[in-house]
Chain A
Amino acid sequence: AQSVTQLGSHVSVSEGALVLLRCNYSSSVPPYLFWYVQYPNQGLQLLLKYTTGATLVKGINGFEAEFKKSETSFHLTKPSAHMSDAAEYFCAVSQYGNKLVFGAGTILRVKS
């Protein structure tokens, strides 16, 4: 069975600081990995995905994530936080691209 653990239900950073949101997964087969963002009263927006190939994945809005198989991790980073980054972020895993299994989410707060 697949599972996702997001460390830290709330993360607070100052504007301009590094954003690091942690995600660890378990999967019995090579996984597909995703990061989604959700703004209040909205659906989920895909930030980036890893399927195969390059382990460093670049996404929208300056976010990137690195797939580390040995650590079963797929942490999300952004060099410089912006106020508009405040939202809830979800890491998800799937096998062969079918149903998504989500982590519990991390709420990112950006302080001015």
Chain B
Amino acid sequence: KAGVTQTPRYLIKTRGQQVTLSCSPISGHRSVSWYQQTPGQGLQFLFEYFSETQRNKGNFPGRFSGRQFSNSRSEMNVSTLELGDSALYLCASSPEGGGGGYTFGSGTRLTVV
């Protein structure tokens, strides 16, 4: 059974640009969540999608957005990148929600220069 796949693994962008990260959940999983991991702030919840609808949202500015497609694949977009957006972005999937525990991907390491 394939795990959660995130692409790309590494990304370097310039301040002011925008970026799109992709996540393919485990087959059959309908819930996809995104987390940001930085040395200073740790792991922080960005948002969760379930059946193409945003179900939960964390405390991030509107520059951070996401969506989920009918096949449960998800993308997150960050516009007008700032240096502070440099982080490891982790995607996690779950069949219905988190009660059974989320399975995480390996992450996308975003560096903003």
Contacts and interface: CB of A to CB of B under 8 A. Distances in A.
B101 A42 contact: no
Nearest to B3: A43
Interface residues of B, number: 27
B101 A99 contact: no
Contact of A100 (B6, B55, B98, B107): B98
Contacts of B101: 34, 46, 49
B58 A99 contact: yes
A16 B48 CA distance: 40
A7 B21 CA distance: 33
B99 A99 contact: no
B102 interface: yes
A43 B42 contact: no
Contacts of B56: 98-99
Contact of A43 (B58, B99, B106): B106
B90 A99 contact: no
Contacts, number: 63
Given A99-B45, A105-B42, A43 B98 contact: no
B102 A98 contact: no
Interface in B26-49: 33, 35, 42-45, 48
A104 interface: yes
B100 A97 contact: yes
A99 B105 contact: no
25 contacts: A32-B98, A42-B107, A43-B4, A43-B90, A43-B104, A43-B106, A44-B90, A44-B92, A45-B104, A46-B101, A46-B104, A49-B100, A49-B101, A51-B99, A94-B98, A96-B97, A97-B94, A97-B100, A98-B48, A99-B33, A99-B48, A100-B43, A100-B92, A100-B98, A105-B42
- Which 8 pairs show the lowest CB-CB distances between chains A and B? A97-B99, A97-B98, A43-B104, A102-B43, A44-B104, A97-B97, A99-B45, A43-B106
